[in-house]
Amino acid sequence: MLEFDEKNKIMTKIVETDLKEQKLMERYHIQEAIVNSWDVFTKEIGLPEIRLIGTEINPHKSVKDRIDILAFDENDSNIIIFELKRDKEKEQLLQSISYAGMINTWTSNDIIESIKDNNDLKELFQNEEIDFGIKIVLIAESFEPEVILTSDWLRTIYGLNISAYTIKLHKFNGKILMDIEQKYPLKELSDVYEARRKRSIESNSNEKNVTWENIKERVEYPYGKNAIDYLLEKYSGDAIRRRFTSVKSKDGINNIIIHFGIKYINIYSFVKNKENGKEVLKTIFGNDFEINEWEKGLSFNIYKEDDYKKFIEWLEI
């Protein structure tokens, strides 16, 4: 932050400071200042109409934790969790998410019990059971890159309404100046974030609508369609994950999973004695057949129709 001297046409840097240097705590100073200046603060962060529920709110009777500030946005029926930190702390995001999970179990009565000195807001929740959503607002002096990246992932992929603001302090003429800056999502890129989130939701929705008919159209090996139809006569399968699970166990090769890839069929199995399992598979496919190990068993790929027939005949399905 710079001081601009209009008369002399010069700029002078204003001295930066921080909460620790000024001996300011998030709870006893910043939190109280936010509550005491509620209208000023909420306008500064672009949420001028949100209403204060209270401070130091217990999110669930099973924990002793307290939410720094809890508010309600009547415009979109969202409860807002404010989590304040001095300096920066990676656990801030995890903590706020855990609070969101606990708040998600609340009823309107829980909200009423948490409201302090706001009878109008209490009446709003007394009239009906409100179906509310949850927003998270992180406030700190700075954020680690992974906090912002994870917030973006949660917002884009899972639609979690989350934002992050930094507090910067400066000393000027014996006073402390505070600058609040939105770090995520960037205001200039809000349209980009929203478009990307919508594309992600549409993509996930499309994946959920996948059927075995879609899979049969995708497989490139000629025997794939018949193989899927044959298995569907005996098992339901999981079209979204393109596989039939726990098809059968035989000769110490257990809980066999048949996964239909685009170019080949992938088989996973759970095997206690991997060497014995390899010997069994070699008697079926030959000594040159490639067999791979994974943590809990063996896996292999089937490319040729002859090998698939050998596999099915061995399983006796």
Q: What is the CATH number of the domain that holds 196?
A: 3.40.1350.10
At 187, the pLDDT band (50, 70, 90 cuts) reads low
Q: Which of 189, 205, 221 is the last residue of a domain?
A: 205
Residue 107 has a pLDDT of 84
200: pLDDT strictly greater than 90? no
Cβ contacts of 130 within 8 Å, gap of 6 or more: 77, 108, 111, 124
The tokens for 310 are 């050998």
Q: Are 152 and 297 in the same domain?
A: no
* Residue whose structure tokens are 């095997």: 271
Q: Is the CB of residue 195 less than 8 Å from the CB of residue 238?
A: no
Residue 108 has a pLDDT of 82
Q: Are 281 and 139 in the same domain?
A: no
Q: Are 158 and 67 in the same domain?
A: yes
For a pLDDT cut of 70, what percent of the chain falls above it? 91
Q: Which of 140, 173, 205 is the last residue of a domain?
A: 205
Query: What average pLDDT score do residues 88-113 get?
Result: 89
Q: Are 103 and 237 in the same domain?
A: no
Q: Are 107 and 190 in the same domain?
A: yes
163: pLDDT strictly greater than 90? yes
Angle formed by the axes of helices 274-285 and 305-315, to 10°?
120
Higher model confidence: residue 70 or residue 19? 70
CA dihedral 19, 23, 24, 29 (to 10 degrees): -170
For a pLDDT cut of 90, what percent of the chain falls above it? 38
Residue 193 has a pLDDT of 54
Q: Structural domain tally of the chain?
A: 2
Higher model confidence: residue 121 or residue 266? 266
14-18, 59-63, 188-192 — which is least confidently predicted?
A: 188-192
Q: Are 164 and 237 in the same domain?
A: no
Q: Are 60 and 81 in the same domain?
A: yes
> Cα 96–100–102 angle (5° rounding)?
115
Q: Which of 150, 172, 205 is the last residue of a domain?
A: 205
Residue 301 has a pLDDT of 92
At 294, the pLDDT band (50, 70, 90 cuts) reads confident
The tokens for 201 are 């939701």
36-50, 107-121, 146-160, 202-216 — which is least confidently predicted?
A: 202-216
Amino acid found at 179:
D
222: pLDDT strictly greater than 70? yes
Q: Are 173 and 304 in the same domain?
A: no
Q: Are 285 and 256 in the same domain?
A: yes
Q: Which domain holds residue 294?
A: 212-315
Residue 123 has a pLDDT of 79
Residue 196 has a pLDDT of 58
Q: Are 73 and 125 in the same domain?
A: yes
Q: Are 36 and 172 in the same domain?
A: yes
In the predicted model, what is the mean pLDDT of the chain? Answer: 86
Q: Are 140 and 217 in the same domain?
A: no
